Amino acid sequence: MKKTLCILLVISILLLAGCSKAEPETADALLSDYLSRVESFEGVIHQYGEEESRVLFGEKLVATVLFPETGIEELDIAIKKYIDDTIASAQVDSASKELQESAELLIAYNSYFNRNDVVSVELKGTYSDSTLAHPIDMTETFSADIESGKLLKIDDLLKKGKREEAEKKLIDEFGIDREFNPGDLLRCWVLAEDSLKIILTRGEFLPMSDGTKTYTFTQKETKELLQDSKADESVAANQNKEETTVPVEAEKVNIDINKPMLALTFDDGPSAHTQRLLDIFKKYGGKGTFFVLGNTLDNRKETLKRIAFEGHEIGNHSWSHRQFTNIDIDEVKDQIMMTRAKIYDITGVDCTIVRPPYGACNDEIRALGKEIGVTFVNWSVDTLDWKTKNADAVYKEIIKDAGDGHIILCHDLHKTTVDAMEKVIPALIGEGYQLVTVSELLTCRGGEIEVGRMYYKQVEG
Ligand code: ZN
């Protein structure tokens, strides 16, 4: 039997290997423009808790909800209740309307750990559907004392008589002239960077046109307003781990194009579970493709570098999981390019494969892909892992539908999916499949990867 090694593969390995920060010429003018903007695009702070998610893909409503699991029971119960209630009311709302396109609910979060005693969580969301002139903004905040595990209200932290002083600051700053109940103005608050931050949700105290506003007290003002932290003195400052260097050489893989191959792909990460998935690949062999979200990357730099370093492929899954077919084309460009710039900034890899959130794409978006030099990749096997959240179900789904040239959709956001991979990866290898990256699959099975095209699988040889 004739055995041919896929030479093109070497090129993709070289691409991974060669894109260190020392070679700025690999970032074209387009990329460098976005690199300069990425810092200010959307800062996400995850200082506490493990990321959890709820994903809905209904006919009337699509929803992506990210929230932290903090391990502080009262806090986790309150967060989950808010999430459940919000999803339920979005379902009721969207079901009652005649919608051309499904409504969209997106919730993301920031989590903070401050003064060694307070954990704060800020949930920020939007709900949009075609009947609304503007998306509805949502903000909710929760804080807890780490020692007692009790939820905190702002009055638990404010020194006596300081509430009016804090409220006056906001009234003066924003020119608030609406009536409000005592305490309402300070209802949404977090402690961030040892500063008290107040969030006024769009339309709550100010005209809708003003949008959602935040006011951050300086650290000095915060110290004057709040009681001292009991834990502050007793705990040493957090030590920052030194960052490892940018990968310089990815692992080499040989692929036999005469043998069956398929691509396992993982969306919505990197997450707290991704490192374990990389361990599983390391143990059994094979490579995967990770379609990452730009707004998670600051918190998962080491994981992202490891993905590249160990010869897996990084794909682009947008900045904040917006459905591309629901937003302006300029916004789609931002979603793709900001993420591309961020990936390049962290790993030195210029990643040009894009999986649009929910797989939603159209001619206009494909034309944009051609213009900016990216290729779209959906899937041929949907594991529905986000729905079943059951390792056994994911395993069965993959084994049932696996075939040469297939692209399999999974989400490394879920623990259960990574659990499933403990069985899936050795089983597929045992059946004779080579687990390759998407670019390896497309090159080995189809030849040159076409920019602007949408791929689902690649079986022609
Ligand atoms: Zn996704």
Please give the tally of structural domains in the chain: 2
What is the average pLDDT value for the chain, to the nearest integer? 85
What is the structure's pLDDT at 23? 39
pLDDT of residue 35: 66
pLDDT tens by residue, 399-446: 999 999 999 999 998 999 999 999 999 999 999 999 999 999 999 988
CA of 321 to the centre of ligand 1 (A): 6
Q: How far is the CA of 293 from the centre of ligand 1 (A)?
A: 8
| 201 and 296 part of one domain | no
CA of 388 to the centre of ligand 1 (A): 15
Q: Which residues surround ligand 1, an ion (CB under 5 A)?
A: 267-268, 357
Flag the least confident range among 8-17, 67-76, 248-257: 8-17
Q: How far is the CA of 407 from the centre of ligand 1 (A)?
A: 15
Residue 37 is predicted with a pLDDT of: 62
149 assigned to some structural domain: yes
CA of 433 to the centre of ligand 1 (A): 25
Q: Give residue 179's pLDDT band: very low, low, confident or very high (50, 70, 90).
A: confident
Q: In the prediction, which pLDDT does 271 show? A: 87
Give 53's pLDDT tier (boundaries 50, 70, 90).
confident
Query: pLDDT tens for residues 321-378?
Result: 888 998 999 999 999 999 999 999 899 999 999 999 999 999 999 999 999 999 999 9
Quick: pLDDT tens for 247-258. Answer: 434 455 689 999
> Is residue 377 a part of any domain in this protein?
yes
User: Taking 60 as the threshold, does the pLDDT of residue 19 lie above it?
Assistant: no
Same domain, 329 and 182: no
Are residue 218 and residue 267 in the same domain, yes or no?
Answer: no
Q: Does residue 12 have a pLDDT over 70? A: no
CA of 452 to the centre of ligand 1 (A): 20
Question: Does the pLDDT value for residue 225 go beyond 80?
Answer: yes
Do you know the residue count of the chain? 461
| Domain co-membership, 139 together with 206 | yes
Q: Work out the pLDDT band at 291, boundaries 50, 70, 90.
A: very high
The CATH number of the domain holding residue 81 is: 3.30.565.40
Asked which of 3-12, 100-109, 206-215 is least confident by mean pLDDT, the reply is: 3-12
* Predicted pLDDT at 192: 83
**Given this model, what pLDDT does residue 397 score?**
96
Residue 171 CA, ligand 1 centroid: distance in Å = 40
Q: What is the dihedral angle through the alpha carbons of 150, 155, 158, 163, rounded to the nearest 10 degrees?
A: 160
pLDDT digits (tens, 9 = 90+) for 304-326: 999 999 999 999 999 988 889 98
166 and 307 assigned to the same domain: no
Q: What is the mean pLDDT of residues 202-227?
A: 88
Indicate if 257 and 380 belong to the same structural domain: yes
Q: Residues 74-111: pLDDT tens digits? A: 999 999 999 999 999 999 999 999 988 899 998 989 98
Residues 262 and 360 reside in one and the same domain: yes
Residue-level pLDDT at 50 = 80
Q: Are residues 365 and 421 in the same domain?
A: yes
Neighbours of 254 (CB within 10 A): 10
Ligand 1 center to residue 342 CA distance, Å?
18
Domain that holds residue 339: 7-36+252-455
Q: Give yes or no for residue 46 having a pLDDT over 80.
A: no
Work out the average pLDDT over 108-119.
Answer: 84
From the CA of 1, how far away is ligand 1's center (Å)? 41
The pLDDT value recorded for residue 41 is 54
The residues assigned a catalytic role are 267, 411
Among the ranges given (36-45, 78-87, 108-117, 296-305), the one the predictor scored with the smallest mean pLDDT: 36-45
| 244 Cα to the center of ligand 1, angstroms | 28
* Residue range 186-193: mean pLDDT, rounded: 90
What pLDDT score does 401 carry? 94
Question: What's the CATH number where 309 sits?
Answer: 3.20.20.370
- pLDDT > 70? residue 393: yes
C-alpha distances in Å from residue 43, one per residue of 10, 46, 333: 36, 10, 18
Residues 78 and 145 in one domain: yes
Q: How far is the CA of 24 from the centre of ligand 1 (A)?
A: 30
What percent of the chain is modeled with pLDDT above 90?
Answer: 59
CA distance 279 to 239: 26
